Amino acid sequence: MIQRRNLLLASLWGMAAQASLANTQDATGGDPLGSMQWPGLRKQYTQDAPLRFTDQVLVRTPAFADDALNVPLQIDARALQQVGGGIARMIVVADRNPIREVLSFEPLQALPMLAFRIRLEQASPIRCLVQTRDGHWHVGGAMTQAAGGGCTVPGASRTDGSWSKTLNQVQARFFTNLAGASRRLRLQVMHPMDTGLVAGIPAFYIERLELRDAADQPWWRLQLHEPVSENPLITLEMPTDGPREFCLLGEDNNGNRIDAGVRA
């Protein structure tokens, strides 16, 4: 009897302790952007690896996204180049998008910097999770307001049907007249980048892009997902010194190949 009573007391204690823990526990997992989605994202992408929030990962977005189909982002993790053995990969996610993962970038020989545009379904934190080679994660982000709807309406080339005439065509150009110790590569691949969230239009998007030199060495690698905007325009920074001739290779989720020469 006594034993049983003690047991009961102990379990009551346990419940009380749990309750008080729940009261003080932060449902956003310490997210500086205060997002309830963050704990789930953290679990999905970083499991239990060490992680910190840092301004060394810059995510630049407009405070208000005027065009929810084309929200410009610029990601900059140059401050981490000498940290933890260098950068292994950078994952961009939008917490409140129906498809949260935007892209994953392996800078390899390029700078850990990237500009591109995304579709945004509603106001959301947008963040970049950077993993250094020591396995640690470094996370930066920004909040973007938006009228939204960007993931669930067809893009312009889908609406007017012009996408089929230009599919996977590439325009690329190096720019060397910008300040800073890099050569800027801007490239655009014509592709409708359908999210699969518009009735009757299945997901159709570029999955993989990479730049290789004449010796078949990769310079950077990108995995794209549905939220990257139609006709992706991507801006990368390459070292000033290096080869002048490259090949842009890639594939969409229907197996269509991308293969274009890029010349500095």
Partner 1 sequence: MKTACTLAVALAWAMAAVAQDGPTTTAPTTTPAPDQARLNYRLQPRQIAEGTWVIEGAVADFLPANGCNIINTAFIATGDGVIVINTGPSRLYGEQQRRAIAAVTPQPVRAVLNLNLHPDYFFGNQAWDGVPTQALAGSIAGMRAEGESYADNLYRLCGAWMRGTQATPARQALEPGSFTMGAHRLELRRLQGHTQDDLVLIDHSTGVLFAGGLVFAERVPTTPHADPAQWLNSLDQLEQWQRQGQFKQLVPSHGPVAQGLKGIAQTRDWLVWLTGWMNDSARQGLDLSELLRTPAPERFARWAAQPAELHRSLAQWYPAYERRALQAQ
What is the binding site for partner 1 (CB under 8 A)?
60-62, 64, 66-67, 70, 72-74, 115, 117, 147, 171-173, 175, 177-178, 184, 186-188, 233, 235
Quote the least distance from Cβ 169 to partner 1, whole Å: 11
Q: Please tell me whether residue 234 adopts helix, strand or coil conformation.
A: strand
Please spell the DSSP secondary structure of 96-152, one letter per residue: TSSS-EEEEEE-TTS-SEEEEEE--SSSEEEEEEEEETTS-EEEEEEEEEE---TTS
> Please, what is the minimum distance in Å from the beta carbon of residue 189 to partner 1?
11
Cβ partners under 8 Å of residue 231, min gap 6: 155, 157, 188, 189, 190, 191, 193
Min separation Cβ 88 and partner 1, Å = 24
CB of 190 or CB of 197, closer to partner 1? 190
- DSSP letters of 151-177? TSS--HHHHSSTHHHHTT-EEEEEE--
Of 131 and 231, the one with the shorter C-beta distance to partner 1 is 231
Query: Looking at beta carbons only, is 51 or 126 nearer to partner 1?
Result: 126
Give the shortest CB-73-to-partner 1 separation in angstroms. Answer: 6
Q: Which is nearer to partner 1, 51 or 103 (CB)?
A: 103
**Cα atoms in the Cβ-side hemisphere of radius 13 Å centred on 147:** 5
Residues 51, 41 contacting (CB under 8 angstroms): no
Nearer to partner 1, 37 or 231 (CB): 231
Shortest Å distance, C-beta 122 to partner 1: 12
Cα separation of 109 and 64, whole Å? Answer: 33
